[in-house]
Every structure is written in C-alpha cells, then in structure tokens.
Amino acid sequence: MERSRSYIATPPGATIKEQIIDRGMKQKEFAARMGMSEKHISKLINGEVKLTMDVARRLEMVLGLPAQFWCNLESIYREKLVKVNEENAMEYDMEIAKKMPYNEMAKNGWVEETSKLSERVINLRKFFEVAQLNLLKENLVPCIACRKLSISEKSDYALIAWAQKAKLEARKIVTQPIDIKSLKKHLSEIRKMTMMEPKDFCPMLIDILSRCGVAIVFLPHIGGSFLHGATFYDDNKIVLGLTVRGKDADKFWFSMFHELGHIILGHIGKIEGLKDSDENVADEFAKNELIPTNIFDEFAKNVELTRENIIEFAKQLGIDAGIVVGRLQKEGYIRFSWYNDLKTKYTISA
C-alpha cells in the first residue's frame, strides 16, 4: 500500500490475501493451486509485481471471482499509484523549488513568471530537463570548476541554475574539437583584448575560444550565488560561463583567466571536485598571465604608486589600467578607495 496526502493505492494483493484467509488457506497451498512459486505469490500480494491477464484467469479458477474483476483492481491500483507518486514527488520538489532563485530566473527570462509553487515546479523541471527536481541530486552538471566567493546551500542552488542556463546557451555555439595547446597559444592575444571595448572583443573572444573547443557564455549574476564564472565539460565541448552586468574590467578579466586556468591546468572534469588548492593555483595563473608576478612586484615595491605611473605601467604592459589598480588594491599596496576612476566598467549583453 502506498500513500500520499490525497490518495491511497491498494494493490490487488490485499484482496487476494483476504480471499485466501477467508478460505482458511495457507499461502503455500494457494501457490500450489495457482501453479506458481511462493515467492511470486508473495510479491503479488505485496504489489511488487503486476497482476497479468494470465494470473487473473488463474485467480478466477482458484478463487471464483471473474478475471475482469482482478484486472480492474490492477488497473485502479496502477492509476492511483501514479497519482500517489506524482503528489509525493510534487511535494518534495516544492521544497526544492523554494530554494531556487526563481524570481531572478524569471526576471532574466529563463522561466515563466508565476507565484504558484506547483507551476514553478513544472517550469523548473522543464528548465532543468528532468522528470523530477530531486534528480538534481545526481549532479547533472558534473565536475564544475568555478570561481565564487562563498559556499552555502543557497549559492549551490543558484550555481546549479546558472550552470544549466550556461549549458543551454552553449548548445547554440558551434565549436571545433577541444584543443588545449591551441588555447595556450592564444592567451597573449586574449590578454591584448583588455584594451578593447566589449562590443569589439566579445565576437573575437567567442571565435577564438570556439576554435579551441570552448563555448563562452555571458550570463547575468544571480543574487546569492557569489559566482563570477564556471567551467565544465558538456559532451564534446567545454562550457565557460562568466557573469556580467555592471562588472569592472579587472574583475571580468581576472575571472576570465581564472577559468582559462582551470581548463589549461586540467582542473575540470575531476570526479572529486575542486580543492581550495586548485582555486588558489587558478588564481595565481590568472594573476601571472595578466601581469607577470616578477614584473608586478618590481613595479609595486620600487615605483611611487601615482596615477600617472600606474597609467604608464599599464601602457607598457598593454593592459587596461584598471587591472593594475585592482591588483594593487587586492595585494594591499594601495587602499580600495584609490584610483577607482581608472577602472573600466563593462556592459555586456547576456
């Protein structure tokens, strides 16, 4: 017998059991009269196997009730069992839906707007392409390498939603086979893009990465996710997602090279997931690719950190001055309130 809030599904076996008890018949004798094993009869009584037409005809001979009667009981049981399972699954999925950043997803056009929780569940199932949301426990976007500033249950659900959208958008991008060696060769070319406007570098970036087997996707930030970027395999391509919307150039490019670091350093696809040490290594990769550490240290420690000197240093390196400012702030050479006017703000359509 299976139950939900509104339904009870009782297997035909319950009626069979009543009938053989009324007759004072032991289950062993009943199995012998049915010409079936005791094990099968036990499963039949417990609703673990379907009551077939063959079994229904045998029941008619042994218990005297028409085969159609037993077939009807089976049909009613299976119908109610579906309703029980659906209702229980819906209630379970409603709890998951409450934890999803649904309002932001709807605002971004990822799902339809609705305040009804049951409708949200249906929309989320379609968005995630799953029959039930509890299947998300199986980690349908496996081995994600990502840069985020905090970890919480809320951020995990936001990450799952964000990564799924990245996966859906990446399907629209045609890529060549994955070629990590080629990607390494393009790093200096990508670095030069820090001096360009998004409208100019975005198409170039998409083209270069697609030729290396990487589909880059720009998505809006989801509140509570603490997410800057994420990278993962999807079939025969690598998906690289970056958050946009009001992002400083230094943060954008650091996140970009951080994710490229995960790809080049072989961090994505790890079954056990990423360790803090992997994140730290990717951070060092990004820092060094944007501004080689020895060159940065020489400048930061031996040159007066004026606006003019920072601009000149950035010019010599061929990178956006805001990237230098962000690095100096992050490493404590200047205050976070200094020279923020040198930081370029990006507006990238998601």
Q: Which fold has domain 2-93?
A: 434 Repressor (Amino-terminal Domain) (1.10.260)
Q: Residue 139: pLDDT above 60?
A: no
- Predicted TM-score of the model (pTM): 0.76
Taking residues 132-149, report their average pLDDT.
63
Where exactly are the structural domains of the chain? Answer: 2-93, 102-135, 139-346
Mean pLDDT on 234-243: 89
Q: Is the pLDDT of residue 247 over 90?
A: no
- Supply the pLDDT for residue 272: 61
Percent of the chain with pLDDT over 90: 71
Could you tell me if 310 and 325 are in contact, meaning their C-beta atoms sit under 8 angstroms apart? yes
Phi-psi region at 129: left, alpha or beta (left = phi > 0; alpha = psi -120 to 50): left
End-to-end CA distance of the chain: 50
Split at pLDDT 50, 70, 90, the class of 329 is very high
* Closest by CA position to 154, among listed 106, 96, 112: 96
Q: Which of 65-79, 99-113, 242-256, 311-325 has the lowest mean pLDDT?
A: 242-256
pLDDT tens column, 248-288: 888 889 999 999 999 999 888 766 666 778 889 999 999 99
pLDDT in tens, 211-238: 999 999 998 877 765 667 788 888 889 9
Pick from 12, 104, 100, 80: which is nearest to 49 by CA?
12
At residue 148's C-alpha, the angle toward residues 288 and 197, to 5°, is 60
Compute φ and ψ for 115, nearest 5 degrees: -100, -10
**Average pLDDT score over the chain:** 89
Greater confidence, 222 or 120? 120
pLDDT at 225: 58
Query: What's the confidence (pLDDT) of residue 350?
Result: 57
Position 312 scores a pLDDT of: 95
Structure tokens at 289: 């690719």
For residues 246 and 105, the model is more confident at 105
With bands split at pLDDT 50, 70 and 90, how would you rate the model's confidence at 295? very high
- Residue 143: pLDDT above 70? no
How much is the pLDDT for 150? 46
Angle (nearest 5°) at CA 233 between 232 and 234: 120
Q: What is the pLDDT of residue 11?
A: 95
Q: Look-up: residue for tokens 């998906």?
A: 239
For residue 152, pLDDT over 50 is answered with: no
- Predicted confidence (pLDDT) per residue in 169-192, tens digit: 999 999 999 999 999 999 999 999
